Amino acid sequence: MSPTSPKAFPVSWDQFHRDCRALAWRLAAAGPFEAIICITRGGLVPAAIVARELDLRLIESVCIASYHDYKNQGELKVLKDIAPSIKAIGDGQGKGVLVIDDLTDTGKTAKIVRDMLPNAHFAAVYAKPAGRPLIDTFVTEVSQDTWIYFPWDMGLAYQAPIREGSAG
């Protein structure tokens, strides 16, 4: 799906913070975790909020870029791998490690990281049905034909009145 999808799910900063707190509450029951790995760039923001709530200070990133236009997700490329010291935590397969992203859509991004650390706990704030099986904990599910608009991608803009010419 793309920003031209029929359904829009705009998220304000306030709503996003609230949803990240709800995610942290669920993760508090699923832990304990020794470290967080955020999937950049979208995972950086929820990771900061969850790290604060769960008092986690060991934060790593895995940097994945998808080369896509507004219609199609292109090839995914790992720009930065997970550090060996983080991979070595627990059983060396991700046990005790929390992986966070802002959302899962097709699940392709989560699958790449799942293949790196199969026993890690995967969390996303929002999930679409195709990506849901890759995620252990999420807050809100939206339909596959919905596009989620994050607060960092939006700005205040004039809204036309619902009823045109209502001043006259």
Ligand X SMILES: O=P(O)(O)OC[C@H]1O[C@H](OP(=O)(O)OP(=O)(O)O)[C@H](O)[C@@H]1O
- Positions at the binding site for Mg(2+): 102
Amino acid type, 97: V
The one catalytic residue among 19, 81, 91, 102: 102
| Beta bridge pairs of residue 66 | 76
**Catalytic residue check, 153:** no
For 74, 75, 139, the CA distances from 16, given in Å and listed in that order, are 27, 28, 11
Q: Under the criterion CB under 6 A, does residue 21 sit at the interface with ligand X?
A: no
147 binds ligand HPA (CB under 6 A): yes
Does 61 participate in binding ligand X (rule CB under 6 A)? Answer: no
Among 20, 42, 89, 128, binds Mg ion (CB under 5 A): 42
Query: How far is residue 109 from each of residues 52, 89, 102, measured CA to CA in Å?
Result: 25, 22, 11
Q: Is 107 in the site for Mg ion (CB under 5 A)?
A: no
Mapped onto helix, strand or coil, the DSSP state of residue 152 is helix
Nearer residue to ligand HPA within complex by CB, 39 or 98 = 39
Is 115 known to be catalytic?
Answer: no
Quote the least distance from Cβ 167 to ligand X, whole Å. 40
Site string for ligand HPA, 94-123 (x = CB under 6 A): ---------x-x------------------
Least distance CB 141 / ligand X (angstroms): 13
- Residue number, nearest CB to ligand X: 42
127: Cβ contacts below 8 Å, ≥ 6 apart:
103, 104, 135, 138, 140, 141, 142
For 66, the enclosing helix (H) or strand (E) is strand 59-66
Q: How many CB atoms lie within 10 A of CB 116?
A: 16
Tell me the C-alpha distance between 26 and 123, whole Å: 10
- Please report whether residue 148 would count as binding ligand HPA according to CB under 6 A: yes
Query: Which residues sit in the known binding site for 5-phospho-alpha-D-ribose 1-diphosphate?
Result: 41-42, 101-109
Residue list, annotated binding site for GMP? 105-109, 147-148
Which residue of the set 55, 105, 115, 136 is catalytic?
A: 105
